[in-house]
Structure 1
Amino acid sequence: MSNPTPSFTGDPNAHPPSSFSAGMTGTCLCGSISVTIHDGSLFSKPRGHLCHCANCRKVGGSYVAANLAIEKEKVEIQDAKGSMKRYEDWDTGSGKCVTRCFCGNCGSPIMSEPAIFPKMYILKMGLFPRIPKPEAESFAAHRHEWQGVHEGVVQFETVRGGKKLKE
């Protein structure tokens, strides 16, 4: 029995930003949950944000989480198999709950629902074929010293909208 030729997936350059003029759909790893963003301006300006807080790093399984804060009415979630699981995270800087949603089949992080922003979802951008350029970094004071700097991205010391690290 021979090993099949590997197929490489996930090249964002295979998806020009113009192909998402009406929005964009992404899925978890197993495909049981799909998330569609209905917003034609995803790539017209920097939109996403990078978060370096410990909780986002844990949820993302990396040194930073690529997120997009977006109004709930612009998001459609399909979970036909009922795979979405929720974890109530109370260990937050605000002391308010952040409900962290993930696929119970494959473990992919889907989104967070912060109690302090009840009309917003924080989507986990790894689900999508392309990630908008970030406009900001939160908890930038928690960055590792070996990380590069993203030009033009506002760095907030901790919470987004709080004290900036540099102008």
Structure 2
Amino acid sequence: MSSPPHLGKFINPNSHPVSEFANGLSGTCLCGSINVTINDPELFSRPRGHICHCANCRKVAGSYAASNLIIEEDKVAIEDRQGTLKVFVDTQTGSGNPLQRYFCSQCGNPIKSVTPLRKGWVIVKMGIFPRIPNPEFESFALHKHDWEDVPKGVTQFKIALGGERV
């Protein structure tokens, strides 16, 4: 069985050296309708990722944590070829502030989140990319399962970014 054309060579992230993404990183949703490009030459120069263990991010990721990247909005280009990018306004957040969660309405793949707490920034869902930068920090670390390890060198915040550390 062959891979869908939009996945192509991106099946194994370890087959791609980070030098391959020196000028940017692109990925698609599962059906290929939405393409996201991060234009940041320093994306892999230092830890940049963010692992979130809040209940809502876990639900959206369909996993025990979400792999995110908080980055300046002007460094992210989204091409919605078939008009499938939709938004769900999540009002049940820990901060009490609504969070816009964007996803592909065709395949359900999460794409990004936008919060009023970080104007000019976007939270990109990293599972759509062929490589993910090393994480810089974890949020909601108190919500981790006791079987989860702490990644080496990662700052852990008990709850929110910038709050009390573990």
Same fold judged by TM-score > 0.5?
yes
Change beyond 3 A, Cα 1:19–1:145: same
Per-residue CA distance 1:122-149 (angstroms, 9 max, x = gap)? 0000010000000000000000000112
Change beyond 3 A, Cα 1:88–1:6: closer
Change beyond 3 A, Cα 1:78–1:6: closer
Q: Offset at 1:9?
A: 5.6
Aligned to 2:137: 136
Matched, 1:28 2:7: no
Change beyond 3 A, Cα 1:6–1:85: closer
Aligned to 1:106: 107
Mapping for residues 16-165 of structure 1, pairs under 5 Å: 16-165=17-166
- Name the larger-Rg structure: 1
Q: Offset at 1:85?
A: 1.0
- SS of the residue 1:55 aligns to: helix
Aligned to 1:10: 11
User: Mind listing any 5+ residue stretches in structure 1 that lack a counterpart?
Assistant: none
Q: What is the identity, as a one-letter code, of the residue corresponding to 1:145?
A: D
Q: Check the 8 A contact 2:10/2:130 in 1, yes or no.
A: no
RMSD, matched Cα: 1.5
CA distance in 1, matches of 2:52, 2:3: 32
Per-residue CA distance 1:2-24 (angstroms, 9 max, x = gap)? xx478996211111100111110
User: Mind listing any 5+ residue stretches in structure 2 that lack a counterpart?
Assistant: none
- SS of the residue 1:25 aligns to: strand
CA distance in 2, matches of 1:105, 1:37: 22
Q: What is the identity, as a one-letter code, of the residue corresponding to 1:35?
A: V
Q: What is the identity, as a one-letter code, of the residue corresponding to 1:156?
A: F
Q: Check the 8 A contact 2:34/2:84 in 1, yes or no.
A: yes
CA distance in 1, matches of 2:36, 2:149: 30
CA distance in 1, matches of 2:26, 2:165: 32
Q: What is the identity, as a one-letter code, of the residue corresponding to 2:33?
A: S
